[in-house]
Amino acid sequence: MDTTVHVPSGPTSGATPPTGSVASSARGLTKVYGEGAAAVRALDGVDVDFAAGAFTAIMGPSGSGKSTLMHLLAGLDLATSGEVLLGTTRLTTLDDGDLTRLRRDRVGFVFQSFNLLPMFTAEQNVLLPLELAGVKPDPAWFDTLVDTLGLRQRLTHRPSELSGGQQQRVAIARALIAKPDVVFADEPTGNLDSRSGAEVLSFLRRSVRELGRTVIMVTHDPTAAAYADRVVLLADGRIAGEILDPTPDAVLAGLDALRTLETTTDTAVSA
């Protein structure tokens, strides 16, 4: 049975990016946790592409598989079956060492909890990925990030001396400093008030539109998702639809459609 939800604002089937090259993709992606009667199928044959130079949000009900999908796309977890590609590189064929180098050199991460080192200054936190890789920073790129994110006056401050929004801006600069192919953001505004959250989302959008980066964000917040160019909807471990040029109302309508689908499916199964 086709369970794709057709949502407002020009959804298209197949969850394919509208234009441009593909930065990250999955084919037949399946993830099962546990075995036998206790097995949980978190992802069930997902096919999806994420356009390079775009800001994409992944949304769905709790337990829909959105965080699992992001972790597999970022090489933080291994698939049960199927393929994950970063550009043309098949993550599913890499050994642990190659995966570690890929995450270090080609992927950036922004987490809900910031994950800054408390004993380091903002500047040291930003430059940490390059230091660990033994790579010298590009001064022009560092200055661009610092000025775009409004961190120039905060570089000598430690995390305890920064607000939550400032800490997340440092985390974004850290994620971008190595010029990664893709930045993955996991609920990046979850610990922020609405004003700080809006600032962080604006900076993520600017990093795409002005700095040419690719951002894939998991969020539960329709307002946050509306900052993206595209929203991919998940339900029960499957792609359930997408929204292009999303607005908060369109995202809410899409989520309502998913809830209606779940209710209808549960009723059909019970019958």
pLDDT tens for 97-125 read 999 999 989 999 999 899 999 999 999 99
pLDDT tens for 153-186 read 999 999 999 999 999 999 999 999 999 999 999 9
Q: Name the average pLDDT for the chain.
A: 88
Q: Do the bridges between strand 215-218 and strand 55-59 make them parallel or antiparallel, or are there none, so unpaired?
A: parallel
pLDDT reading at 1 higher than 60: no
Question: Domains, the chain, ranges and CATH?
Answer: 53-78+93-268 (3.40.50.300)
Residues ≥6 apart with Cβ < 8 Å to 166: 122, 151, 154, 157
DSSP state of 84: E
d(CA 213, CA 89): 18
Q: What percent of the chain has pLDDT over 90?
A: 76
Locate tokens 């899409």: which residue? 254
d(CA 155, CA 163): 13
